[in-house]
Amino acid sequence: MGLVIDIAAIQANWKALAARAGSARPGAVVKADAYGLGALRVAPALYQAGARDFFVALAGEGRAIRPHLPDDARIFVLSGHMEGADLAGLIPVLNSPEQFFRDRALRPRGPFAIQLDTGMNRLGMEAAEWAAIRAEALAAGPQLVMSHLACADEPDHPANAQQLAAFHAMTDGIGVPRSFAATGGILLGPDYHFDLVRPGVGLYGGEPFADAKPVVTLSLPVVQTREVKPGESVGYGYNWTAARPSRVATVAAGYADGLARALGREGKLRLWAGDRACPVIGRISMDLITVDVTDLPEVPPALEILNARQGVDAVAALGGTIGYEILTSLGRRYERTYL
């Protein structure tokens, strides 16, 4: 019951992506609490699998996992050196000349990395900014120079080759380890791998890593079951009306647990009893979801919303979003079990 997180599957996915990355060193992205699954459990497990390079978004996330990882684990902070940040034991990925000069002034011997913008226009130094500080930055000995792909989940998108060419133009011959690929970039092939790869979502069972082992099972306890007569309605707005004598199960989870109302908007969301799918009916409310279980011979104590049959991307698509958002929205109220 509750949220079951298969740590061995995360380790297997890391190893599978590491194998795809050939000779590139495989890192692991554990930002946003390891995509909602629990960085304090996931990061040490990935260390055990062989990962030594971890990426988080914020210094606070890095500080939280630092005591749980041995000293030879590097923790890169993607937001870089923000004003007032405590970066002890962490490696900021410096995104602008401003961050670079702040960092060098405050931690002259502290380890750092550099992020370059190759077209995404989100984080990183632009070509002209990089050209201006490049000699000084390289002399200071960055651990890594990296950039990020905007369209790696669309292999035919012309931006991939354009960003790759821009990265080469900015970094060829620098003599510093380079990193370019997240999950999608790893799958684009060896041209994109460089020295270190940064898989995130693929570790957690999400697209575009189609061969990922499923990582999460989420089963929602049935609170109550009732019989509903034809013509009777269910839930807020009386949004669903029974066309036949029906049995309705009410399960304990809702939009406050990360299961957005929009997931039910097309009426295609299903909860599972073993291999049998049961349609969600009526609106998803804050703490409760109603399910048509009429066709089940017996109502089990819990129904699954995420499992090997219905993964995070399938659920996400019903709400017009992506698996990343389903994962990182998983609520704090679920009872969590780590396998």
Ligand X SMILES: *Cc1c(COP(=O)(O)O)cnc(C)c1O
* Positions in the binding site for ligand X (CB under 6 A): 29, 31, 78, 148, 182-184, 198-202
In the complex, least distance from residue 124 CB atom to ligand X, rounded to whole angstroms: 9
Residue nearest ligand X, Cβ-based: 200
Of the pair 77, 291, the CB lying nearest ligand X is at: 77
Dump strand ranges (E) for 70-168.
74-77, 91-94, 113-115, 145-146
Q: Which of 70, 5, 78, 74 is nearest to 36 (CA)?
A: 5
Is 35 or 100 the residue whose CB approaches ligand X more closely? 35
272 φ, ψ (degrees, to nearest 5): -115, 135
Minimum distance, C-beta of residue 184 to ligand X, in the bound complex (Å)? 6
Chain centroid to CA 280: 26
Q: For ligand X, which is the closer residue by CB, 78 or 315? A: 78
Residue 123: CB minimum distance to ligand X, A: 7
Do 183 and 208 touch, CB atoms closer than 8 A? yes
DSSP-assigned beta bridge partners for residue 179: 146, 196
Give me the least distance between CB of 177 and ligand X, in Å please. 15
User: In this complex, which beta carbon is closest to ligand X, that of residue 77 or of residue 234?
Assistant: 77
CA atoms within 13 A on the CB side of 284: 23
Among the listed residues 15, 31, 213, 255, the single catalytic one is 31
Amino acid, single-letter form, for residue 192 = Y
213 is catalytic: no
CB of 261 to ligand X, least distance (A): 25
Task: Select 116 or 269, whichever has its Cβ closest to ligand X.
Answer: 116
d(CA 305, CA 313) in angstroms, rounded, equals 12
C-alpha 165/C-alpha 163 separation (Å) is 5
Residue tagged active-site, from 15, 213, 236, 338: 236
Q: How many residues in the chain?
A: 339
d(CA 202, CA 213): 9
Min. distance of Cβ 202 from ligand X in angstroms? 6
Q: Is 268 a catalytic residue?
A: no
Give the list of residues 6+ apart from residue 279 with CB closer than 8 angstroms, or none.
267, 268, 269, 270, 291, 292
Which is nearer to ligand X, 94 or 291 (by Cβ)?
94
Instruction: Read off the tokens for 275.
Output: 């291999």
Q: Tell whether the torsion through CA atoms of 215, 57, 68 and 18 is positive or negative.
A: positive
Q: What positions carry a catalytic annotation?
A: 31, 236
